[in-house]
Amino acid sequence: MPAPVEVQAATINEFIEGWKTKNPDAWTSNWTDDCTNTILPYSMNHPGWSKDDVRNVHLPRLFTTLSNWQLNVYDVIHDVAKGKACIYATSRADTPFGDFKWTNEYAAFLTLSEDGKQVKKIEEMVDTAFFAEMAKQGAAHAAAQKEKAEASASASKDAPSAQAVKV
């Protein structure tokens, strides 16, 4: 017997409210301890992340890159009998990559726990064209940062130190 619709709906809403924040603990607050988050399509070869990986590694890394995070939910389809939901949403944020903006699109498929109080599985279909461009922009930014650091180190090495200069 599925969990009551009110319980499931509250869990889905809590998930969405957490997703709207830049707080990894809020994002994962109603995930089961063994919840997995897989990025789709499968052609991206995403291995799936555990709750701990998402909360402690992936979200902190993402959020140090993004600012002004906004999530817009356009539709939620809830299958009470199966304890599942699909959320269609987009997100926007600023990146350190010049004028390039984070503009992702999602269909997030949730599977709830038997009691309907937690999320036990997440599969996120993402915009692969956006991810390809994000990787390209990120690589270009990293290369520019490395070049800048190397130039700065070289300039420091070539400059005479105060101790080496005799008057």
**pTM, whole model, 2 decimals?**
0.84
Burial (Cβ within 10 Å: 0-12, 13-18, ≥19) of residue 47: exposed
Does the pLDDT value for residue 3 go beyond 90? yes
Instruction: Give 167's pLDDT tier (boundaries 50, 70, 90).
Output: very low
Half-sphere exposure of 44 (CA within 13 A, CB side): 18
pLDDT digits (tens, 9 = 90+) for 100-124: 999 999 999 999 999 999 999 999 9
User: Alpha helix (H) ranges present in the chain?
Assistant: 5-19, 24-28, 51-53, 59-65, 128-158
pLDDT digits (tens, 9 = 90+) for 34-87: 999 999 999 989 989 999 999 999 999 999 999 999 999 999 999 999 999 999
Annotation: CATH topology of 5-147: Nuclear Transport Factor 2; Chain: A, (3.10.450)
Q: What is the mean pLDDT of residues 127-133?
A: 92
- The residues near 31 (Cβ < 8 Å, ≥ 6 apart) are 51, 118, 119, 120, 122
